[in-house]
Amino acid sequence: MRVANIVNLGFKELRGLGRDPMLLLLIVYAFTAAIYTAARAMPETLNNAPIAIIDEDRSPLSSRITGAFLPPYFSRPEIITAAEMDRRMDAGLDTFALDIPPNFQRDLLAGKVPTIQLNIDATRMTQAFSGSGYVQSIVTAEVAEFSQRYRDTSVQPVDLVLRARFNPELNKTWFGAVMNVINNITMLSIVLTGAALIREREHGTIEHLLVMPITPFEIMISKVWSMGLVVLVASALSLSLVVQGLLSVPIEGSVPLFLAGAALHLFATTSLGIFLATITGSMPQFGLLLMMVLLPLQVLSGGMTPRESMPEAVQLIMLGAPNTHFVMLAQAILYRGAGLGVVWPQFLALAAIGSALFIFALGRFRESLK
C-alpha cells in the first residue's frame, strides 16, 4: 500500500465529483434547503388546521365556542351552512367541520344532553388524529364554563411541575433540524461512494486503474476518504450555518466530538455504499437497492421513534447497523451535551461495525474485478 496512491486517487474522486453538477446540487440541497424546510415543516403536529363551523343555534354559547378556535392550532373558523359542508370537505378546504345544531343552548340549560357533530377529513392523518382531541377539549371546556357560570378553578389533588430538559421550549424545530442532518449524513455517504464506483464502471476507467500499479485496497480506501470528507465538511457547515445560524437551534455539546463520531460513521456507511455498488450493474439498480436499504436503516435507527418502543428482535438486529449507534451518540452530544465518557461505547461499536463492513466490502470489490 502506498499512501501517495491513496491521496492521488482520492483527489481524482474529488475532481470527478466536481464535474458532476447533479451530485453537487444534491449535496448542497440536502444540507441547506432540505434541512430548513424539514425543520420548519414540523413546528407543531397541529398548526393552522382549517376548520369550518355550521352555527345553526345562533346563541351566545355557540358564538363562544366559535371564538375559542384560534391560531396557532387552528385557522380562523369559516362560518358556513350545512349545504356547503360536503362540498368544502370534498374540495379539501376544511379538515374539521363542527355542526352546532338548533336549540343547542336551550337544550343544555334544560338539563338535556345535546349533540354536536364533528366531521373530520381523515386523509390528513396527523391533523385528524390530534385535532379531534383538541376540538373535543375546547368544546367541553367552553360548555362547562357556560353551564357553571364561572371558570372552574378547583384545586387538583396533585401539583405536577413540568421541567423540560434539553429543549425547554418543546420546540420540534430543534429536533427536526438536527435529525435531518444526521439522516442526510447516512444517505449521502452511501449515495456518493456508490455513485463514484458505478461511474468508474460505466465510463470504463476502472479497467484503466487495474493496469496501473494500484491495488483494490487503494482504490477503495481512496473513495472512502474522499467522499467521507465531502459529507463531513458539508455536515459541519450545515450545523454551523443552517442549524445554528439560520434556524437558531442551540447545540449543547462539542461539535468536534460529534464530527469525530460522524467520521467513524462515514467509514462504515461509505463501505456499505461500495458494497451495494458492487452488486448492482447501473445507477437505476443502485437507486432501487438504496431505497430497500436506506429506509429501514433510518426508520429503525431510533431517530424517528424510540428504540424501546420497537420489538425486541428489531432492537437486537439494529444493533448491527451503524446509524443506530450514530443516532445515539449524536443525540447525546448535540442535545444533552454528553462527553466522550458517555458516548465511548457507541464510538467502539462504530469502529467495529465500520471495520467489518470495510473488510466485507473489500472482499466483494476484489471479486467484482475478476
pTM of the model: 0.77
pLDDT digits (tens), the chain, 370 positions: 688 888 988 898 898 888 889 889 999 999 999 999 888 776 556 778 899 999 999 999 999 999 999 888 888 999 999 999 989 988 888 999 999 999 999 998 888 889 999 999 888 777 787 888 899 999 998 888 888 765 555 566 777 777 878 877 777 788 888 889 999 999 999 999 998 888 888 777 776 777 777 888 988 899 999 999 999 999 999 999 999 999 888 888 899 999 999 999 999 999 999 999 888 878 888 888 888 898 888 888 888 778 888 888 998 999 999 999 999 999 899 988 889 999 999 999 999 999 999 999 999 888 877 7
Q: Are residues 12 and 101 in the same domain?
A: no
Q: Are residues 21 and 57 in the same domain?
A: no
Q: Are residues 272 and 358 in the same domain?
A: yes
With H, G, I as helix, E, B as strand and everything else as coil, classify residue 120.
Answer: strand
Distance (Å, rounded) from C-alpha 122 to C-alpha 145?
Answer: 30
Range of the domain at 230: 3-41+171-368
Task: Give the dihedral of Cα atoms 197, 198, 200, 202; nearest 10 deg.
Answer: 170
Number of domains in the chain: 2
Q: Are residues 87 and 231 in the same domain?
A: no
Q: Is the dihedral of CA 225, 227, 233, 236 positive or negative?
A: negative
Q: Which DSSP string corresponds to 16-65?
A: HHHT-HHHHHHHHHHTTHHHHHHHHT-S-SS-SB-EEEEESS-SHHHHHH
Give the CATH number for residue 77: 3.40.1710.10
